[in-house]
């Protein structure tokens, strides 16, 4: 995982240097402005599309971690993504007795690096079309590019599409996704 984080960081640094300091403003997420000087939790709490994710992060006890220095890349599922899970799944995961399972699910959406979409696209290209992304939760996601969009496939074959990329945070970056990625059960 350390080698992957170094590779992510090296690619992101090289791309940032090549691009210079002319970055576009952060996109809005869930109708709210996202601020580069706020951390992942502070910004996610403002998105009306991520209330379930925020509730899950709180229930798992991950708020302090995701407010920490990082860097983190978070693939952030929307409320609709959580709603698409089988009925009762979210309620079950949010119960205190299921904290370990919830933590595993959430940490399968987090990478210990600050990785913009251009860096991910480069890794996909360098790896001939599919790049393994190792998460802090121990999951391996398969990153691919399809019709100009990044997709992530979890260990169960579920495919999430990045719908909003490169939402810069003070401690990393968020990429909004349309499916919840699940660890191998």
Residue 29: C-alpha distances to residues 13, 48, 77, 176 (Å): 25, 8, 12, 8
Residue 138's pLDDT is 94
For residues 144 and 164, what is the distance between their CA atoms, to the nearest angstrom? 16
The H or E element spanning position 177 is strand 172-177
Copy the structure tokens of residue 124: 């996909």
Residue 24's pLDDT is 59
For residues 55 and 86, what is the distance between their CA atoms, to the nearest angstrom? 18
For residues 114 and 117, what is the distance between their CA atoms, to the nearest angstrom? 10
Residue 69: C-alpha distances to residues 10, 40, 106, 169 (Å): 18, 10, 18, 11
Across the range 50-66, mean pLDDT stands at 94
pLDDT range class, residue 31, cuts 50, 70, 90 = confident
Residue 11's pLDDT is 44
Residue 148's pLDDT is 86
Residues 6+ apart with CB under 8 A from 13: none
For residues 121 and 98, what is the distance between their CA atoms, to the nearest angstrom? 35
pLDDT range class, residue 44, cuts 50, 70, 90 = very high
Across the range 99-104, mean pLDDT stands at 96
pLDDT over 70 percentage in the chain:
86
DSSP 58-76: HHHT-HHHHTSS--EEEEE
For residues 28 and 31, what is the distance between their CA atoms, to the nearest angstrom? 6
pLDDT range class, residue 28, cuts 50, 70, 90 = confident
Contact 68, 41 (CB under 8 A): no
**Cβ neighbours of 58 (radius 10 Å):** 13
* Cα three-residue angle 16-20-23, rounded to 5 degrees: 80
């Amino acid at each position: 995982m350390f080698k992957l984080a170094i590779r992510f960081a090296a690619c992101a640094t090289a791309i940032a240097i090549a691009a210079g300091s002319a970055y576009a403003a952060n996109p809005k997420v869930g109708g709210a402005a996202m601020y580069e000087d706020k951390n992942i939790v502070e910004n996610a709490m403002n998105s009306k599309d991520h209330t379930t994710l925020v509730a899950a992060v709180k229930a798992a006890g991950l708020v302090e971690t995701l407010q920490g220095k990082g860097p983190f890349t978070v693939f952030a599922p929307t409320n609709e993504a959580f709603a698409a899970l089988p009925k009762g799944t979210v309620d079950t995961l949010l119960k205190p007795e299921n904290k370990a399972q919830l933590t595993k699910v959430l940490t399968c959406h987090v990478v210990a690096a600050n990785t913009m979409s251009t860096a991910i696209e480069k890794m996909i290209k360098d790896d001939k079309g599919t790049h393994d992304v190792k998460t802090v939760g121990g999951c391996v996601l398969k990153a691919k590019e399809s019709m100009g969009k990044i997709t992530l496939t979890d260990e169960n074959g579920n495919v999430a599409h990045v719908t909003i990329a490169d939402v810069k945070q003070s401690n990393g970056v968020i990429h909004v996704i349309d499916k919840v990625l699940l660890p191998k059960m």
